[in-house]
């Protein structure tokens, strides 16, 4: 019998690692699911609802963690939480593997096997486990909804007897999962939408959603995508050409959403102070890369900054603000991963350490950091 613990997240994290639906499925796999009382409350999953699907509600985190084989979290757990688990237990969460190395080392020292969902390989079999996509999709939607609320003008063009209200112009920088959802949402709200990205494949995706594509389409642009589907860092020469094109385009935009992040690196700088100063007063910038330094030079993480009448918002956890949906999707991602680790007949852990998905997400095992992208890094 596998015992799975789920504890409440810190005050700044409204999401939770299970949903009523996944509790039911995990119990169906033969697992005991122990959830700390109140852990699901900020995602509107009451203790009663979780209990009805088969969860055991533990009065405290310590009660949930005691003798557990697996700890499921949204954020990186504390060393004390991991120490309370069975020796050699599994910890599965978004561990922020490139952040606070000393704390990650301390967690690894507990001898738990640490899996980070951000490192899920971009392969067909793992699509249902891709937490970056499930959460970024919601963040892209919420960024546009928040921008529209802050904008204080109408988004669609309206023809009225009193005159015409022009459509807002929205510019989406980065057409990954968050960017594509931002394009779709801005279009639904009636904005005129344009978008840019350095990956050639994104041109067609932007057009298919009704957006206008803006980019310097030279030879370097044609090679600008990694095998994993991420944007490659571009040369200084390309960046200068792209910046000039963007500078001319951005001054006429009402709403700009930036979504450019490269895992493990500071966010690329896309919007300079001069570009912000060229924009009309009342314009809005929402910077989804705020936690990694921001795509805009003036972004302050977690704050709204006003500069020359332009407001720049640097949210830190937009997906968490739609916690009901975010938790439901994240819990499904975790369940899809867990299903590959549990033997359904024997109802016990059966981890294939050579599986591409396991190797891709395993950060630490037997007291040492083992992931190739983290070894030798500080």
Distance CA 287, CA 191 (A): 19
Active site residue 43: no
Q: Is 376 exposed, middle or buried (0-12, 13-18, 19+ CB in 10 A)?
A: exposed
Q: What is the pLDDT of residues 165-184, one digit of tens each?
A: 999 999 999 999 999 999 99
Q: Structural domain boundaries of the chain?
A: 3-119+322-365, 138-321
According to the model, what pLDDT value does residue 199 have?
85
Catalytic pick among 133, 202, 253, 283 = 133
Active site residue 101: no
pTM of the entire predicted model: 0.93
CATH homologous superfamily of 138-321 equals NAD(P)-binding Rossmann-like Domain (3.40.50.720)
According to the model, what pLDDT value does residue 229 have?
67
Active site residue 44: no
CA nearest neighbour of 12 among 346, 343, 318: 318
DSSP-derived pairing of the beta strands 212-213 and 192-196: parallel
Active site residue 273: no
Cα–Cα–Cα angle for 174, 176, 182, nearest 5°?
Answer: 75
Find out whether 122 and 229 touch, Cβ atoms under 8 Å: yes
Is the pLDDT at 228 greater than 80, yes or no? no
- Work out the mean pLDDT of the chain and round it to a whole number: 94
Active site residue 335: no
Catalytic pick among 101, 127, 208, 373 = 127
Catalytic pick among 75, 122, 187, 188 = 122
DSSP-derived pairing of the beta strands 90-93 and 70-72: parallel
According to the model, what pLDDT value does residue 264 have?
78
CATH no. of 3-119+322-365: 3.40.50.720
What number of CA atoms fall less than 13 Å from residue 329's CA on the CB side? 19
Catalytic pick among 75, 230, 238, 239 = 230
First to last CA, the chain: 38
Q: What is the mean pLDDT of residues 5-18?
A: 97
Catalytic pick among 130, 146, 197, 287 = 130
CA 32 to chain centre: 28
Distance CA 302, CA 175 (A): 23
Per-residue confidence at 314, pLDDT binned at 50, 70, 90? very high
Q: Do domains 3-119+322-365 and 138-321 have the same CATH topology?
A: yes
Buried b (16+ CB within 10 A) or exposed e, 25-41: bbbebebbbbbbbebbe
Per-residue confidence at 201, pLDDT binned at 50, 70, 90? confident
């Amino acid at each position: 019998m596998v015992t799975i613990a789920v504890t409440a997240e810190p005050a700044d994290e409204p999401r939770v690692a299970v949903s009523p639906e996944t509790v039911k499925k995990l119990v169906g796999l033969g697992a005991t699911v122990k959830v700390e009382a109140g852990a699901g409350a900020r995602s509107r999953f009451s203790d009663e609802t979780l209990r009805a699907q088969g969860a055991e509600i533990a009065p405290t985190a310590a009660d949930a963690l005691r003798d557990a084989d697996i700890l499921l979290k949204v954020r990186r757990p504390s060393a004390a939480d991991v120490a309370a688990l069975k020796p050699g237990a599994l910890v599965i969460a978004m561990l922020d593997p490139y952040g606070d190395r000393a704390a990650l080392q301390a967690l690894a020292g507990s001898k738990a096997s640490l899996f980070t969902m951000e490192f899920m390989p971009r392969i067909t079999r793992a699509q249902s486990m891709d937490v970056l996509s499930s959460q970024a999709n919601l963040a892209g939607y919420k960024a546009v909804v928040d921008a529209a609320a802050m904008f204080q003008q109408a988004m669609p063009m309206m023809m009225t007897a009193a005159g015409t209200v022009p459509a807002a112009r929205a510019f989406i920088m980065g057409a990954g999962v968050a960017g594509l959802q931002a394009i779709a949402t801005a279009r639904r709200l009636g904005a005129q939408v344009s978008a840019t990205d350095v990956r050639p494949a994104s041109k067609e995706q932007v057009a298919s959603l009704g957006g206008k594509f803006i980019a310097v389409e030279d030879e370097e642009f044609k090679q600008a995508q990694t095998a994993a589907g991420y944007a490659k860092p571009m040369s200084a020469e390309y960046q200068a050409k792209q910046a000039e094109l963007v500078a001319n385009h951005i001054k006429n935009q009402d709403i700009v959403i930036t979504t450019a992040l490269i895992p493990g690196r500071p966010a690329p700088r896309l919007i300079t102070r001069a570009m912000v100063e060229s924009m009309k007063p009342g314009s809005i910038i929402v910077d989804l890369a705020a936690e990694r330094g921001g795509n805009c030079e003036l972004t302050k993480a977690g704050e709204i900054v006003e500069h020359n009448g332009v407001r720049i918002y640097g949210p830190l956890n937009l997906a968490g603000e739609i916690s009901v949906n975010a938790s439901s999707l994240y819990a499904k991602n975790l369940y899809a991963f867990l299903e590959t680790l549990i033997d359904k007949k024997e109802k016990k852990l059966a981890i294939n350490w050579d599986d591409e998905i396991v190797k891709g997400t395993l950060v630490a095992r037997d007291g040492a950091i083992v992931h190739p992208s983290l070894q030798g890094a500080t």
